[in-house]
Structure 1
Amino acid sequence: MKSQASITALMSSFGRAFHTENEVHPVFVDPLAKELMTAEEYEAVQGYILNGAHFFEPDLNTSGLTDKEIVRLLVNKHIAPSPLCRAAYTESLLKNIAQTGISQYVILGAGMDTFAFREKEFVSGHRVYEVDHPLTQKDKQARIARAGWRTPENLTFVPDDFAKDRLSERLVTSGFDKRNETLFSWLGVTYYLSAEEIDKTLSEIADLSAEGSALVFDCPDEGFFSASEKRVQNTIMMAKAGGEPMQSAFSYAELEKLLGRHGFRIYDWLTPCNIQTRIIESAGANLKAFEHVNYCLAVRKN
């Protein structure tokens, strides 16, 4: 798969596409995810999952199962739960709190997110900023062009190398207004950053946040790296093998203290049990919330 998209981004996009096409009661519907992948990439990811069936599930008996049934089983257990549930939570949250005055939506580490192209009515009335590494963003824009999509007027791509650039400068230069309430989504990112990088990013988000602005993100808890659950350890191993090792995890108390230093207060905290009840079961989906992964909504209070 010759692409600037990371293996984790492609796996996430495949999970969205496959889940949408093959579930009667999907937890999250993304009819555009497949269009951002080439047919070669889609088949390659599917083949990777099939070939790794016994890595994911050593005791899996595949006799009598079709390839599609095997992939569905593995996607629903290992690939889909985190990216789909956090997307469902964030987009539902966004539509609700947009009614309270938030006029800007910033997607940090946007990857192959399709929100701005799926939710045209929302985007017509709100500014959306997709922030990502310049190479990743260049690749995504090439995919958008290949798919024949038209970029909405209110969507702005903001190239930002988090290791070198200042997020605040990049966003303001791109038209972001620090006086307006904003929702920042930071999904699937904190796992891969050091504690110092997370602290730096929170400082920059705080600098950009008018009072009442909100930040939603997912993060592993303090038991993540030592977890006994096989799929957790598989995820950690796959990330490392793909050149994107996971680095950080936080207890609630640690996160509350860290956010507090930057003027944020936790308003909603979803544990796997909450995610199972509020997101998966309410959708009637055939998933189990990923162990040791929590969702957080924090609000800026000056």
Structure 2
Amino acid sequence: MGRHLGDFPLEKLRDYRPALENKPRDFEAFWSEQKNDLKNERTKVETELREYPVPSVEVLDIVFTSWDGTPLNGMLVKPKSMAECPVIICFPGYTGSCGLPVDYLKWVSVGFAVYVFDVRGQGSSPDFGNYQNGSRIPGWMLLGIHQPENYYFTNIYRDILMQLKWIRSQDSPIIPTKLGVMGSSQGGGLALSAAGLDGEMDFVMADWPFLAHFERALDVALSGPYMEIVNYFKWNDPQYSTFDQVIRTLGYIDSVHFCESITCQTLMAAGLEDAITPPSTVFAAYNHIQSANKNIEVYPQFTHELNPFHDEKKLEFLSRQLENNPHDTSGIGKQQLFDL
């Protein structure tokens, strides 16, 4: 059932729940401090309505100025003329952007509004973070790797905390009756981390998440962003003298370390031939999630790729989120919003 690319067989994956040996002892205190530091930060958000050819859909372009002045580009795609409805925050994949409104119409078609922002330094968003070390390896995985408090992904998590605060505020263009997160690859890892960090999500959808179970990923991944770290050691630290320091920093942002705080409904997916986010790293995250209502879909011959079959599963999952929603008086989810 699939070649597994040298990873564990499916029977072992189902039970793979590694001990969190690299979770920093001050993990909770570290993130409590980050939240406290952001408590009084104010965001500047500019929105502009975009002309869009689908008459029942509204698209707003957003520039979200985050905690350090970095302007993050994003958009809101929502059912037109609705002041409140369920909301999904969608996180892009590594090096990706928030894309085009058409990418989110399937979610809007069942009654959800979608927020999506380019991650700092990726897509069309700049990065105003200051880093003291560079690397011969291109990309973002090593930026600030020796300083957990200013590591690249620590700063992204700060951005997410600020975005969540704004989305729940009276300044947001739409009131979320339910709030969930979703994403694939980097987006999947950010969705898991956001859900655990926030603690109040209604649902999570995470496909083959990146940023999960670094200690194993560095051993078994064959391509993709994990290799930036692998090659850092080859070319910058061939005898691994800074390994403990690097793993400690990664421990603060490893999505597996947030999964024990996830108690909401969760849908995940794994491809058994995925060499970028190996199946064992995905199951490590899944098996640490505490939700009593969780499911992982397995695709034996899929690699790290778009999966329309799983999109169908996600539509079913989202439709169930609308059931018994006391705020849903519009009939959305019971009828088609528009014809594609």
More helix by share: 1
TM-score category, normalised to shorter length: 0.3 to 0.5
Q: Which has the larger radius of gyration?
A: 2
More strand by share: 2
Structure 1 length as normaliser, TM-score?
0.35
Structure 2 length as normaliser, TM-score?
0.32
